[in-house]
Chains A and B, each alone.
Chain A
Amino acid sequence: MPERYVPNEAVTHGDGGTAALAMAEAETLEGGRNGRGGSPRDKPRSLWGDAWRDLRRNPVFLVSALIILFLVVIAIWPQLIADGNPYRADLAKAQEGSAPGHPFGFDTQGRDVYTRTVYGARASITVGICATAGAALLGSALGGLAGFFGGWWDALLSRVADIFFGIPVLLGGLVFLSVVTSKTVWPVVGFIVLLGWPQIARIARGSVVTAKQNDYVQAARALGASSGRLLLRHIAPNAVAPVIVVATIALGTYISLEATLSYLGAGLKPPTVSWGIDISTASTYIRNAPHMLLYPAGALSITVLAFIMLGDAVRDALDPKLR
């Protein structure tokens, strides 16, 4: 394969595919970390210590981390800021605008949009975190091993990953999820993991291959370190940074993907409260009652934005080359 700046995973599968978008940006990270230092003022510091020092001073990181913390808290305890019931419908108030005690107004069934927007965080955050954790674990394990051992295992993994890249994400989701009857979040999580792991695997494979070529790894090998020790003590700590960056950005895009699938009727299903479903329902009435769409859409966009910004900040911290 030729060396390419833009790997296949950069490809967004059409308009729902922000899921893949951020992936390729991590590519710059892989190659970039070696460019560190060089000027005489650079004192040797650890990558992580340095990154943390930068992060703490970075307002983008602080803002996005605060937003995410807030989102996680209300995903666990939505009652903290919304004392209503997201299911209580009052048809008499259907599609009405904001009223005292109901700042975001009512949806088409007369349910309180504010309460539903708050409760919607749970599904999005759950899907995002679980899918990212699954894809990151599976992807970095498979990709890391492929990069470390190479050979037929590597070749096989690359082909399997190619197969998954060949399938447009939204299409796969529609087909796969349209036959699922479960009303929980888990089929959606499973599907995102299924299509998400190859992207992480590529990044992990790439960074392990890069780390493997470092002189100190060669030296450790020459000194007779076992494969397991090499991988865990010498390679993994240096290969994990790109994976973390990609996973953080992916978390945001997975949330966006879940909402898009739900919008298309293939993701989460009622009675789960989901921004995607609510936006989908509201889209029919956008001319008369735009507020029904704008509030959940705003919440969704801010959530995605927060994770992408966090990923950006982490990448900047770990990749000093682009300052």
Chain B
Amino acid sequence: MATATTPEPAPDPGTPAPALLDVRDLYVEFRTRDGLAQAVNGVSYRVDAGETLAVLGESGSGKSVTAQAIMGILDSPPGFVTGGEVLFRGRDLLKATPEERRKVRGARMAMIFQDALSSLNPVLSVGAQLGEMYEVHQGMKRKDARAKAVELMDRVKIPAARSRVGDYPHQFSGGMRQRIMIAMALALEPDLIIADEPTTALDVTVQAQVMDLLADLQREYDMGLILITHDLGVVADVADRIAVMYAGRIVETAPIHDLYKSPAHPYTRGLLDSIPRLDQKGQELYAIKGLPPSLTAIPPGCPFHPRCPRARDVCTTDRPPLYDVAPGRSSACHFWEETVRDEEPPHAR
């Protein structure tokens, strides 16, 4: 389960081994001049070693903020974690000292960002930025770190790594830059990688290559991977499980194939229906009506109810809990049963 280099206390035989990452009831808010934005409202999910969890949601759904809170890189102020636990191998990172958290960052859990061009330092060579990981976390000499950087670049299949190690980020193509981001995350062979829209900024053809590379490396190192995306298509082949977020909440979690086959939340259903499909050529594409809510004014009850085709009176007043739909499946919809069966709502409005 763990990589060989990280000695773990022997798990208590009586209790099951703790998950690699277990986020419990996380709350994050942004205190801004325009008011309080409730970005994350009680999110829970877990990731095991070797597992890929896709976190799906529109922009503003809180998926990236959750990731930043896990990493401990939230801009604070204005962002504050106001509740919950982030258990990493059973230890609550939110209770760790800043220095302990720093040592975990990059070494044990790493992050890949969407826009590699702006996420890499423009005035430092990629070799310096890769080597820095070894210099800081392992106290390696600059020269040795540089050699490790070349190795890393080879591993993410950057051609002519040795001659390009001194180049600057802007001298690489978009796909190559994202490979460098991946290499940087991979440098210290972390247990968990969080990839925030890793392929969104890339051309479609390059997207697949980068995603394959990421999936291969994840298998090779038996890492946990959190794949944040707004695009269902990207994650279909690589993810094991999926968590759908809406207005700072998880509205559905499911093994990926179950979710595709029979979504248990009307929002997920809407997302699936709005994917263009070849066999429905000529038909009008479905679109979820309305807009996601402002995080400063989340609707009462189920936050999705103003846009939901199945909404009834109870949805405007009672916030749905996460109902267990099946082992490993849950949905935050009062009417998940009819949603799973995809039957018409009895009293459609």
A interface list, Cβ under 8 A from B: 39-43, 323
Contact segment of B31-39, B225-233, B269-277, B308-316: B31-39
A-B contact pairs, 9 of them (CB 8 A): A39-B32, A39-B37, A40-B37, A40-B294, A41-B32, A41-B35, A41-B37, A41-B295, A42-B34
Interface core residue of A39, A40, A43, A323 (most chain B CB under 10 Å):
A40
Taking a contact as CB atoms under 8 Å apart, the answer to whether A40 and B295 are in contact is yes
B60 close to A (CB within 8 Å):
yes
B interface list, Cβ under 8 A from A: 32-35, 37, 59-60, 292, 294-296
- B34: chain A residues within 8 A (beta carbon): 41-42
- A40: chain B residues within 8 A (beta carbon): 37, 59-60, 292, 294-295
Nearest-CB residue, chain A, relative to B292: A40
- B295: chain A residues within 8 A (beta carbon): 40-41
CB distance from A37 to the nearest CB of B (A): 12
- A39: chain B residues within 8 A (beta carbon): 32, 37
Q: Does more than half of chain A's interface fall in helix, strand or loop, or is it mixed?
A: loop
Nearest-CB residue, chain B, relative to A40: B60
CB distance from A258 to the nearest CB of B (A): 39
Taking a contact as CB atoms under 8 Å apart, the answer to whether A323 and B33 are in contact is yes
- B294: chain A residues within 8 A (beta carbon): 40-41, 43
CB distance from A256 to the nearest CB of B (A): 34
- B32: chain A residues within 8 A (beta carbon): 39, 41
- Interface contacts (Cβ under 8 Å), in number, total 18
User: For the complex, what is the distance from the CA of A42 to the CA of B37, rounded to whole Å?
Assistant: 11
User: For the complex, what is the distance from the CA of A43 to the CA of B293, rounded to whole Å?
Assistant: 12
- A43: chain B residues within 8 A (beta carbon): 294
CB distance from B66 to the nearest CB of A (A): 15
Interface core residue of A39, A42, A323 (most chain B CB under 10 Å):
A39
Top 5 A-B residue pairs of the complex, sorted by shortest distance between their CB atoms = A40-B60, A41-B296, A41-B34, A41-B37, A41-B294
CB distance from A289 to the nearest CB of B (A): 50
| A-B contacts besides A40-B60, A40-B292, A43-B294, 7 pairs, CB < 8 Å | A40-B294, A40-B295, A41-B32, A41-B34, A41-B35, A41-B37, A41-B295
Nearest-CB residue, chain B, relative to A323: B33
Nearest-CB residue, chain B, relative to A54: B33
- A42: chain B residues within 8 A (beta carbon): 34
User: For the complex, what is the distance from the CA of A40 to the CA of B61, rounded to whole Å?
Assistant: 10
CB distance from A211 to the nearest CB of B (A): 24
- A323: chain B residues within 8 A (beta carbon): 33
User: For the complex, what is the distance from the CA of A42 to the CA of B33, rounded to whole Å?
Assistant: 11
Nearest-CB residue, chain A, relative to B37: A41
User: For the complex, what is the distance from the CA of A39 to the CA of B34, rounded to whole Å?
Assistant: 11
CB distance from A52 to the nearest CB of B (A): 16
Nearest-CB residue, chain A, relative to B60: A40
User: For the complex, what is the distance from the CA of A42 to the CA of B34, rounded to whole Å?
Assistant: 8
CB distance from A53 to the nearest CB of B (A): 11
User: For the complex, what is the distance from the CA of A39 to the CA of B60, rounded to whole Å?
Assistant: 8
CB distance from B60 to the nearest CB of A (A): 4
User: For the complex, what is the distance from the CA of A42 to the CA of B60, rounded to whole Å?
Assistant: 12
CB distance from A245 to the nearest CB of B (A): 21
Nearest-CB residue, chain A, relative to B32: A41
CB distance from A91 to the nearest CB of B (A): 60
User: For the complex, what is the distance from the CA of A323 to the CA of B32, rounded to whole Å?
Assistant: 11
User: For the complex, what is the distance from the CA of A40 to the CA of B60, rounded to whole Å?
Assistant: 6
Nearest-CB residue, chain A, relative to B35: A41
- A41: chain B residues within 8 A (beta carbon): 32, 34-35, 37, 294-296
- B59: chain A residues within 8 A (beta carbon): 40
CB distance from A42 to the nearest CB of B (A): 8
Interface core residue of A41, A43, A323 (most chain B CB under 10 Å):
A41
CB distance from A50 to the nearest CB of B (A): 11
User: For the complex, what is the distance from the CA of A159 to the CA of B92, rounded to whole Å?
Assistant: 63
- B296: chain A residues within 8 A (beta carbon): 41
Nearest-CB residue, chain A, relative to B58: A40
User: For the complex, what is the distance from the CA of A323 to the CA of B294, rounded to whole Å?
Assistant: 21
- B292: chain A residues within 8 A (beta carbon): 40
Nearest-CB residue, chain B, relative to A320: B33
CB distance from B200 to the nearest CB of A (A): 16
Nearest-CB residue, chain A, relative to B36: A41
- B37: chain A residues within 8 A (beta carbon): 39-41
Nearest-CB residue, chain A, relative to B61: A40
User: For the complex, what is the distance from the CA of A40 to the CA of B34, rounded to whole Å?
Assistant: 11
User: For the complex, what is the distance from the CA of A43 to the CA of B32, rounded to whole Å?
Assistant: 14
User: For the complex, what is the distance from the CA of A43 to the CA of B34, rounded to whole Å?
Assistant: 10
CB distance from A197 to the nearest CB of B (A): 35
CB distance from B255 to the nearest CB of A (A): 30
Nearest-CB residue, chain B, relative to A57: B33
User: For the complex, what is the distance from the CA of A188 to the CA of B34, rounded to whole Å?
Assistant: 47
Nearest-CB residue, chain A, relative to B293: A40
User: For the complex, what is the distance from the CA of A42 to the CA of B292, rounded to whole Å?
Assistant: 13
User: For the complex, what is the distance from the CA of A323 to the CA of B33, rounded to whole Å?
Assistant: 10
CB distance from A108 to the nearest CB of B (A): 53
User: For the complex, what is the distance from the CA of A171 to the CA of B34, rounded to whole Å?
Assistant: 50
Nearest-CB residue, chain B, relative to A38: B59
User: For the complex, what is the distance from the CA of A42 to the CA of B294, rounded to whole Å?
Assistant: 9
User: For the complex, what is the distance from the CA of A43 to the CA of B37, rounded to whole Å?
Assistant: 13
CB distance from A41 to the nearest CB of B (A): 5
User: For the complex, what is the distance from the CA of A120 to the CA of B292, rounded to whole Å?
Assistant: 60
CB distance from A133 to the nearest CB of B (A): 34
User: For the complex, what is the distance from the CA of A55 to the CA of B32, rounded to whole Å?
Assistant: 18
User: For the complex, what is the distance from the CA of A323 to the CA of B77, rounded to whole Å?
Assistant: 12
User: For the complex, what is the distance from the CA of A43 to the CA of B294, rounded to whole Å?
Assistant: 9
- B35: chain A residues within 8 A (beta carbon): 41
CB distance from A58 to the nearest CB of B (A): 12
CB distance from B230 to the nearest CB of A (A): 13
Nearest-CB residue, chain A, relative to B34: A41
Nearest-CB residue, chain A, relative to B78: A39
CB distance from B301 to the nearest CB of A (A): 20
User: For the complex, what is the distance from the CA of A42 to the CA of B32, rounded to whole Å?
Assistant: 11
Nearest-CB residue, chain B, relative to A42: B34
User: For the complex, what is the distance from the CA of A118 to the CA of B59, rounded to whole Å?
Assistant: 59
CB distance from B178 to the nearest CB of A (A): 22
User: For the complex, what is the distance from the CA of A83 to the CA of B295, rounded to whole Å?
Assistant: 61
User: For the complex, what is the distance from the CA of A43 to the CA of B296, rounded to whole Å?
Assistant: 11
